[in-house]
Structures are given as C-alpha cells and as structure tokens.
Amino acid sequence: MLKSLNINYLSWSLFVALLLLVVTLPVVEAAEEKGEWVAAKDEYVHYCSACHGFEGKGDGMVAGVLTV
C-alpha cells in the first residue's frame, strides 16, 4: 500500500513539474525575444538612424547630404 502511494505521489509530482515547464517555457522565450528586439533597436538608433531616420524612411539628419 505504501509503495503504491509513493509511486502515485511521484507520478503526480512529475506531471506537475512537466506542466510547469511547458507553461513557463514560452514566457521565457518571449522575454528573450523582447531582449533581442531592444538590442536591435538600440543598434539601429546608434548606427543607422542618422541616415535612414528613426522610422526608416530615409529622412535622417544627414540624409540630405548623401548622394547615390
């Protein structure tokens, strides 16, 4: 009887642990993706926005002096 209770408890514990893993994994991945977007935006502002503008329309501060 005691052995079956231990197996039952272990089964439920494993089920709950896997359920928590499945539920929290997308949240962690979303947070990582958000971090990548923030880093990419910072790089764009630093390296690209002077020519391309903040909206990417080619109307940056130095766009007028550039020739193609």
Q: What is the DSSP string of the chain?
A: -HHHHHHHHHHHHHHHHHHHHHHHHHHHHHHHHHHHHHHHHHHHHHHTHHHH-TTSSS--TTGGG---
Asked, for residue 36, whether it belongs to a domain, the answer is yes
Q: Is residue 16 part of a domain?
A: no
* 51 within domain boundaries: yes
Mean pLDDT for the chain?
A: 81
Reported pTM: 0.48
The residue-averaged pLDDT of 21-44 equals 77
Asked if pLDDT for residue 18 goes beyond 80, the answer is: yes
Counting the structural domains of the chain, the total is 1
Q: Is residue 7 part of a domain?
A: no
Domain boundaries, position 47: 25-68
Window from 2-11, 37-46, 48-57 with minimum mean pLDDT: 2-11
